[in-house]
Structure 1
């Protein structure tokens, strides 16, 4: 049986040699197909970091806008849409400090004073009461020479008193700390006094 297989193999080799000599190459019909049993590479597990890399590519402009384009966007162009600069006519002088500001808006100089005073009060509250968040009880601020108003004990229950060791600013009246839901005050102590 083995010898017959060898003979058949020799015959096929001879036929193949003869055919190669005639045509110069083996015809496709007689070519032997061979499959290599090689395992395909397993797909690698990848994460989003592998895709993104060091940074995320966002839809950002590639080039900077030129000065001319920026100015055209801001002021327009006389050939197309011309955005004229309109002078403001609603500028007034602040009654308390003398700085100019737009009508209907608070004076920037006065606002900085209010902001500084508020920050000072907040720092004093943090210093005395600690870092309480949220502060659920009312805080009463007393300046030099001020006493607690006469109220029943139930009124003072849970309230916190902060004493500022300086005089009350003229613009900071006592009525500013009253809640709007309370009854209107009978006090006419409004500073500066020429307004009342």
Structure 2
């Protein structure tokens, strides 16, 4: 019973406030007559003055530092020991090409050569597949000049891609196979 009474009381109070606003609007001649443009809004809630708590300007003042950082503090922060560059001492010559590389890393010069060689193999593969009209669905074996087909597995269905040049010394035979041997 008290809930129903309190809800009716709230509705009555808001109706009285709306009537009061409307009466002020009619009696006082609001908006003012003259050259000043004004926007009028009638809302159900009474207008509250802006305070420091719950203001629309709350987010603006959050990230403002209280004091300026000195030059010494800025430089110490920027040049911290954790941010210094460490000298690399594990540089060795590549066993294939002789270019310098990091230990346990692939030589970038050799990587470029391997990419070029594999792109040539792919061009040769797709050139043959365009002639025959089918996509490669078998195991692919790459044979260079001077290598025979007796080195391929006879029992399996194998597609042979022949390259018309000698095999590079740094490009091992089992590089493209699944086992890597």
TM-score normalised over the length of structure 1: 0.46
Larger radius of gyration: 1
TM-score normalised over the length of structure 2: 0.49
Q: Flag the structure with more relative contact order, 1 or 2, with Cα contacts below 8 A and sequence separation at least 6.
A: 2
